[in-house]
């Protein structure tokens, strides 16, 4: 009975979550191009890691689409900060009617064409296993060909109820999923776990026609070597801001904004960490933010700060690399996946 009630509620929230905001609500509070952050990249941005909230209140008080966040809110934030597109992870939970989520994604695409680059993110119940099986995924994609451009984000790291060793990139569940992904020309987005580099090498070698996009400190130290050997791996850089993750679910908006007080110090850390890697592999790294764990991460001032810091960082890269990192590498992956 509870599942039925939640499913019906989800359908109601799906409708409200796609309603457009009024024009006055979408007007940026200020121009996103802030020349005071000098030097400053003034071009296009694509955010390659963005979590869309679920319309089902399954983990309160996290973001709930249609309740404390709407797609109209997200669209307005992106307009305000000057981000043209996002790789949008749409969660499809196996314990509810997935058709609700498919309808919701279709409506989002119709209302905001190409703003959201849809990824299908189907976690297993309690993330064990970390995703649905190939048969269900194939059925879902079969009747919605062309809707999704990516599969993920799928977390492979340790959790209280599972180990990274249980679900490496070459685990049986993924071996059955890769042919489905290949058939639909989808990118694959993984957050690897510790000690999975060897498994990842085998996966990259066995699937040269699938593009894998990854992030996370578990693979950060090995990403350059992997890129040297394999042409189908990309890295999404969301840990700028002093090489730390500021958008934590247990954080606050004010704590996030306070993290930028010592701008020169955190910028120096980021340049030391990321500039050599990005410039050594200029076609493989993408800018991103990893928003979505808390309601405040969708706030317009938060988005404005993320984008402006990103622009300040990009301006310090080799000029030949700047647009590639800002949007061209992401755009190329979008084109390959059929968007």
Alpha-carbon distance of 195 to 175, in angstroms, equals 19
- Helix residue ranges per DSSP H, the chain: 2-17, 23-26, 71-81, 98-111, 134-142, 172-183, 197-206, 217-220, 223-229, 253-258, 263-280, 300-314, 319-323, 329-336
Alpha-carbon distance of 22 to 28, in angstroms, equals 12
Rg (CA), the chain: 19
Q: Are 161 and 128 in contact (CB under 8 A)?
A: yes
Q: What's 52's DSSP letter?
A: P
CB atoms within 10 A of CB 45: 26
Q: What is the pLDDT of residues 259-301, one digit of tens each?
A: 888 889 999 999 999 999 999 999 999 999 999 989 999 999 9
The overall average pLDDT reported for the chain is: 86
Q: What's 116's DSSP letter?
A: E
At residue 14, the pLDDT reads: 38
Mean pLDDT is lowest, of 93-97, 105-109, 144-148, 251-255, for 93-97
With a CB cutoff of 8 Å and minimum separation 6, the contacts of 232 are 204, 207, 208, 209, 210, 211, 212
Q: Is the pLDDT of residue 162 over 60?
A: yes
Q: Are 321 and 279 in contact (CB under 8 A)?
A: yes
Alpha-carbon distance of 282 to 320, in angstroms, equals 9
Q: Among 182, 213, 208, which Cα is nearest to 338's? A: 182
Q: Are 294 and 245 in contact (CB under 8 A)?
A: no
Domain 2-336 fold is TIM Barrel (3.20.20)
Alpha-carbon distance of 15 to 76, in angstroms, equals 18
pTM: 0.90
Q: What's 65's DSSP letter?
A: B
In the structure encoding, which two tokens stand for residue 324, read together? Answer: 């590639």
Helices 98-111, 2-17: crossing angle, 10 deg rounding:
0
**Residue 61, Cα to own-chain centre: how many angstroms?**
21
Mean pLDDT is lowest, of 17-21, 145-149, 152-156, 322-326, for 17-21
At residue 191, the pLDDT reads: 96
Torsion of CA 127, 128, 131, 133, to 10 degrees: -160
Alpha-carbon distance of 238 to 308, in angstroms, equals 14
At residue 89, the pLDDT reads: 95
309 vs 142 pLDDT, higher one = 309
Q: Is the pLDDT of residue 47 over 70?
A: yes
Q: What is the DSSP string of 197-235?
A: HHHHHHHHHH-TTS-EEE-SHHHHTTHHHHHHH-TTEEE
Mean pLDDT is lowest, of 98-107, 141-150, 151-160, for 98-107
Q: What is the pLDDT of residues 138-154, one digit of tens each?
A: 988 987 888 899 999 99
Q: What is the domain partition of the chain in residue ranges?
A: 2-336
Alpha-carbon distance of 25 to 154, in angstroms, equals 34
Percent with pLDDT over 70 in the chain: 86
3-class DSSP state for residue 69? Answer: strand
Burial call 248-267: b when 16+ CB within 10 Å, e when fewer: eeebeeeebeebbeeeeebb
């Amino acid at each position: 009975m509870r599942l039925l009630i939640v499913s019906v509620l989800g359908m109601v929230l799906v409708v409200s979550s796609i309603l457009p905001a009024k024009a006055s609500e979408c007007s940026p509070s200020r121009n996103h191009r802030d020349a005071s952050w000098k030097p400053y990249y003034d071009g296009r941005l694509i955010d390659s890691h963005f979590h869309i909230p679920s319309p089902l209140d399954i983990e309160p008080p996290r973001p709930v689409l249609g309740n404390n966040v709407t797609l109209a809110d997200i669209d307005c934030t992106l307009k305000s900060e000057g981000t043209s597109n996002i790789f949008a992870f749409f969660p499809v939970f196996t314990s509810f009617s997935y058709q609700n989520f498919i309808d919701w994604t279709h409506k989002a695409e119709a209302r905001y064409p190409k703003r959201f680059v849809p990824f299908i993110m189907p976690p297993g119940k309690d993330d064990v296993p970390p995703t649905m099986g190939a048969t269900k995924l194939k059925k879902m994609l079969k009747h919605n060909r062309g809707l999704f451009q990516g599969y993920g984000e799928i977390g492979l790291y340790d959790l209280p109820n599972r180990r990274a060793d249980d679900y490496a990139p070459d685990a049986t569940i993924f071996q059955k999923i890769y042919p489905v992904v290949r058939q639909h020309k989808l990118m694959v987005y993984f957050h690897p776990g510790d000690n999975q580099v060897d498994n990842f090498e085998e996966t990259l070698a066995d699937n040269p026609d699938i593009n894998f996009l990854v992030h996370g400190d578990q693979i950060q130290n090995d990403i350059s070597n992997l890129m040297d050997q394999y042409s189908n791996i990309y890295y999404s850089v969301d840990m700028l801001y002093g090489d730390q993750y500021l958008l934590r679910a247990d954080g606050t908006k004010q704590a996030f904004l306070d993290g930028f007080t010592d701008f020169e110090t955190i910028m120096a850390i980021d340049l030391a960490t990321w500039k050599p890697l990005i410039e050594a592999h200029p076609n493989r790294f993408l800018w991103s933010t990893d928003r979505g764990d808390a309601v405040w991460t969708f706030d317009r001032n938060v988005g404005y700060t993320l984008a402006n810091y990103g622009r300040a960082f990009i301006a310090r890269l080799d000029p030949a690399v700047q647009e590639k990192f800002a949007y061209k590498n992401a755009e190329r992956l979008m084109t390959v996946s059929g968007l």
